[in-house]
């Protein structure tokens, strides 16, 4: 049985700045956890005067730190947060965030628990194989492991001004694996009450003073049950909080398809349908490739279908068709999959042995992102003698695939769908160049390896003469006057896409975000490629920016592998990966269409990095 080590910290009794709902929050969270089956729970609580800085740090190190591989460590903090201006290059917002412990507010009190310090502690535990979750219900919590309230929100804010006796030493986080095709490092999951620049609120809810976020999060956990994913829980809680306050936007930092408290990836769609104050909404927008109204999404596990009526940068407003949602539907969140698409499928050309071509054409017909002919991405399959060769992608050549059965043909179609989705991500661009012209990605060399520009604009990074992998620094620049939410995707020539270099943060106007918080990005050839003179690999570093957070799940795509499970719906990726690969057949013979949408305020910038052995 999995052991869960939980540390619940709730502080109301702050000197000169009391709160009323924090201890209520953590008591309710503890009660919820004790009802959770399948876990051996080890709980430690710190309330009010017991929640000193030393006690909180000791609880993290000596209690949560007991977790080993296969265990879970949960930190739940409800209290004050604070922030101060900083010129540290790792803080793209221009502010440093921190948790306020009980003994920090008195004059000359203890230092705060700063974001980099807390994040480093939690990530060191995660690096040992423990699944680590932090729930922070305090002001500025979106940046707490890394202004006044507006919008008519009632109640008290959970934040205090920075005090003169709090030092701002910047603790460095632990080292992380490099870029390219390296594995993503183990990190903690963060469920935060608000964005780094925002305040969190508390008020009387259901007859008791509670934090908006803690109350909404526990409601979502109770409603969705033990198989809930972080993405679904966050979507439901975020909608509930925003109904209470337009000034508070909860954040999720971590895998959307990870199971709550366990972390294992569940086979689910990256797209979710929920009911908001503006109506029904799907977290798929123009940034994800949705191009026009009329696209359809079908509920997984149910007969319902919704049709897109308005395309926004990060989401789409939809309308139920053929079913009438009830009150219970409006209180839940539903996994949906695209079933009629508003972008052209890839154009597949088949050549070779007629029987083999017929086999592949039947498999291609079952995948909505593929078509035999047309004007989409040109892909080609040469079939015959029990083999199929796929070509047309911009990445590394795909090895020949077996083709002797319908299952083999489905795997070929899955490969084509995987390449199609990778190109959809790589080629995303907003027709309106406004924001795209105001963001940049730069790559600069370090003392390890050589960096130069080729005649065609590629950034060429070379191994050292003694065979060491080149290291570079990668930065995202926001040249606009306004804060923008930025994510940096690493698209490899193995047809993978990952946001692990810069997983989504706000970058203030005129400031810079550093990949891996300023740590060097290591570039390397993928495993399995010979490290010989002239060998090379390519990475497309693509920044996507918007005014609000984006659903990152559709941008996560594992490298193509012939050993990956195939699926007739194009789901050649393991559960949770593949974005728009997870499709069903259209519910009717309808093509998505309609007038072009408003392009909205989002943009992209991209550079190509070539890593080579000279």
Helix, strand, coil tally for the chain in percent (to 5): 20, 30, 45
CA 137 to chain centre: 20
- pLDDT for residue 579: 39
Q: Is residue 261 over pLDDT 70?
A: yes
- pLDDT for residue 527: 87
DSSP 226: T
User: For residue 316, what are the β-bridge partners?
Assistant: 282, 311
Average pLDDT over every residue of 242-262: 92
Longest CA–CA separation in the chain, Å: 83
The rounded distance, in Å, linking the Cα atoms of 359 and 60 is 57
Looking at the chain, the whole-number percentage of residues with pLDDT higher than 70 is 86
User: For residue 135, what are the β-bridge partners?
Assistant: 76, 191
Q: Band of the pLDDT at 597, cuts 50, 70, 90?
A: very low
Q: Band of the pLDDT at 259, cuts 50, 70, 90?
A: very high
DSSP assignments along 414-476, one per residue = HHHHHHHHHHHHHT---SS-TTGGGEEEEEEE-SSSEEEE-TTS-EEEE--TT-PPPEEEEEE
DSSP assignments along 181-223, one per residue = TPPPPP--EEEESS-TTS--EEEEETTEEEEHHHHHHHHHHHH
Q: Band of the pLDDT at 295, cuts 50, 70, 90?
A: confident
Looking at the chain, the whole-number percentage of residues with pLDDT higher than 90 is 67
Measured over the CA atoms of residue 262, residue 267, residue 268 and residue 269, the dihedral's sign is positive
- pLDDT for residue 176: 27
Q: Nearest CA to 88 among 390, 595, 513?
A: 513
Q: Band of the pLDDT at 155, cuts 50, 70, 90?
A: low
Q: Is residue 182 over pLDDT 70?
A: no
- pLDDT for residue 330: 92
- pLDDT for residue 178: 37
Q: Is residue 565 over pLDDT 90?
A: no
The answer to whether the beta carbons of residues 151 and 93 sit under 8 Å apart is: no
Q: Nearest CA to 578 among 185, 339, 288, 231?
A: 288
Q: Is residue 591 over pLDDT 60?
A: no
Q: Is residue 406 over pLDDT 90?
A: yes
pTM for this predicted structure: 0.81
Highest mean pLDDT among 140-149, 167-176, 425-434: 425-434
- Non-local (6+) Cβ contacts of 80 within 8 A are 11, 14, 17, 19, 99, 100, 105, 138, 139, 158, 159, 160
Other C-beta atoms lying within 10 Å of the C-beta of residue 523: 29
pLDDT tens digit sequence for 84-130:
887 776 678 888 888 999 998 877 788 888 888 899 999 999 999 99
Highest mean pLDDT among 448-457, 536-545, 549-558: 536-545
Burial 217-248 (b: 16+ CB within 10 A, else e): bbbbbebbeeebbbbbbbbbbbbbbbebbebb
pLDDT tens digit sequence for 332-371:
999 998 877 656 789 999 999 999 999 999 999 998 889 9
The rounded distance, in Å, linking the Cα atoms of 102 and 491 is 45
The rounded distance, in Å, linking the Cα atoms of 298 and 337 is 5
DSSP assignments along 67-105, one per residue = --TT-EEEEEEES-EEEEE---TT-TTSEEEEE--GGGS
Burial 9-38 (b: 16+ CB within 10 A, else e): bbbbbbeeeebbbbbbbbebbbeebeeeee
- pLDDT for residue 293: 87
The answer to whether the beta carbons of residues 99 and 140 sit under 8 Å apart is: no
- pLDDT for residue 55: 97
Task: Please report which helix (H) or strand (E) contains residue 305, including its range.
Answer: strand 305-311
Q: For residue 97, with 0-12 CB atoms within 10 Å meaning exposed, 13-18 middle and 19 or more buried, which class applies?
A: buried
Highest mean pLDDT among 63-77, 168-182, 563-577: 63-77
Query: In the numeric block, which tokens belong to residue 355?
Result: 């029987």
- pLDDT for residue 162: 60
Average pLDDT over every residue of 395-404: 95
- pLDDT for residue 187: 87
- pLDDT for residue 152: 42
User: For residue 136, what are the β-bridge partners?
Assistant: 77, 192
Q: Band of the pLDDT at 217, cuts 50, 70, 90?
A: very high
Backbone angles phi, psi at 343, to 5 degrees: -140, 155
Average pLDDT over every residue of 226-246: 93
pLDDT tens digit sequence for 521-535:
999 999 889 999 999
Average pLDDT over every residue of 567-586: 35
Average pLDDT over every residue of 181-208: 85
Q: Is residue 586 over pLDDT 60?
A: no
Helix, strand or coil, per DSSP, at residue 240: helix
pLDDT tens digit sequence for 39-49:
999 999 999 99
Q: Band of the pLDDT at 179, cuts 50, 70, 90?
A: very low
Average pLDDT over every residue of 606-611: 97
Q: Nearest CA to 599 among 431, 449, 475?
A: 431
User: Which residue matches tokens 């900083």?
Assistant: 86
Instruction: Kindly give the pairing relationship between strand 39-47 and strand 2-10.
Output: parallel
The chain-wide mean pLDDT, for the chain, equals 86
Least confident segment among 134-143, 161-170, 204-213: 161-170
Q: Band of the pLDDT at 181, cuts 50, 70, 90?
A: very low
pLDDT tens digit sequence for 474-488:
999 999 999 999 999
- pLDDT for residue 575: 32
- pLDDT for residue 343: 63
The answer to whether the beta carbons of residues 137 and 158 sit under 8 Å apart is: yes
């Amino acid at each position: 049985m999995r052991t869960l080590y939980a540390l619940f910290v709730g502080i109301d009794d702050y000197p000169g700045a009391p709160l009323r709902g924090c201890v209520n929050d953590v008591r309710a969270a503890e009660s919820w956890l004790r009802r959770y089956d399948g876990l051996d729970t080890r709980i430690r609580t710190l309330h009010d005067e017991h929640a000193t800085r030393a006690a909180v740090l000791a609880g993290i190190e000596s209690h949560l730190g007991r977790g080993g591989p296969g265990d879970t460590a949960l930190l739940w903090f409800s209290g004050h947060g604070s922030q101060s201006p900083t010129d540290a290059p790792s803080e793209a917002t221009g502010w440093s965030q921190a948790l306020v412990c009980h003994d920090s507010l008195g004059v000359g009190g203890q230092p705060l628990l700063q974001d980099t310090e807390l994040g480093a502690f939690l990530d060191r535990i995660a690096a040992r194989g423990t699944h680590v979750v932090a729930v922070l219900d305090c002001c500025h919590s979106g940046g707490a492991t890394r202004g006044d309230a507006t919008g008519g929100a009632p109640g008290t804010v959970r934040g205090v001004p920075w005090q003169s006796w709090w030092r701002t030493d910047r603790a460095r986080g632990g080292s992380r694996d490099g870029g390219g095709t390296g594995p993503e490092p183990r990190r903690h999951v963060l469920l935060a009450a608000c964005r780094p620049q925002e305040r969190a609120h508390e008020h009387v809810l259901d007859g008791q003073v509670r934090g908006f976020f803690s109350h909404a999060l526990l409601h979502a956990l109770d409603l969705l049950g033990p198989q809930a994913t972080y993405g679904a829980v966050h979507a439901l809680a975020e909608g509930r909080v925003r109904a209470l306050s337009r000034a508070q936007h909860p954040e999720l930092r971590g895998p959307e398809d990870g199971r709550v408290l366990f972390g294992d990836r569940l086979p689910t769609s990256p797209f979710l349908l929920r009911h908001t104050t503006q109506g029904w909404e799907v977290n798929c927008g123009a940034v994800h490739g949705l191009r026009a109204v009329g696209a359809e999404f079908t509920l997984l596990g149910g007969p319902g279908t919704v049709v897109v009526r308005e395309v926004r940068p990060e989401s789409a407003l939809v309308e139920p068709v053929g079913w009438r949602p009830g009150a219970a539907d409006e209180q839940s969140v539903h996994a949906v999959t695209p079933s009629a698409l508003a972008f052209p499928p890839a154009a597949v050309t088949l050549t070779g042995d007629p029987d083999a071509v017929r086999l592949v054409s039947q498999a291609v017909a079952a995948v909505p992102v593929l078509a035999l002919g047309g004007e989409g991405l040109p892909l080609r399959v040469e079939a015959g003698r029990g083999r199929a060769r796929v070509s047309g992608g911009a990445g590394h050549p795909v090895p020949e695939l077996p083709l002797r059965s319908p299952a083999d043909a489905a795997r070929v179609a899955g490969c084509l769908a995987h390449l199609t989705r990778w190109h959809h991500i790589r080629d995303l661009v907003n027709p309106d160049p406004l924001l795209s012209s105001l963001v940049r990605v730069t790559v600069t060399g370090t003392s390890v390896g050589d960096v130069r520009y080729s005649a065609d604009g590629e950034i060429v990074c070379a191994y050292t003469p003694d065979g060491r992998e080149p290291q570079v620094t990668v930065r995202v620049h926001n040249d606009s006057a306004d804060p923008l939410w930025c994510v940096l995707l690493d698209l490899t020539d193995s047809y993978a896409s990952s946001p692990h270099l810069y997983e989504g943060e706000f970058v203030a106007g005129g400031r810079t975000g550093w990949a891996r918080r300023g740590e060097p990005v290591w570039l390397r050839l993928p495993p399995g490629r010979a490290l010989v003179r002239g060998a090379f690999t390519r990475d497309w570093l693509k920044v996507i920016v918007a005014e609000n957070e984006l659903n990152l799940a559709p941008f996560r795509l594992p490298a193509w592998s012939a050993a990956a499970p195939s699926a007739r719906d194009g789901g050649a990726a393991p559960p949770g990966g593949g974005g728009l690969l997870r499709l069903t057949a259209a519910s009717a013979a309808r093509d998505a269409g309609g007038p072009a949408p408003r392009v909205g305020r989002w943009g992209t910038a991209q550079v190509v990095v070539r890593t080579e052995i000279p």
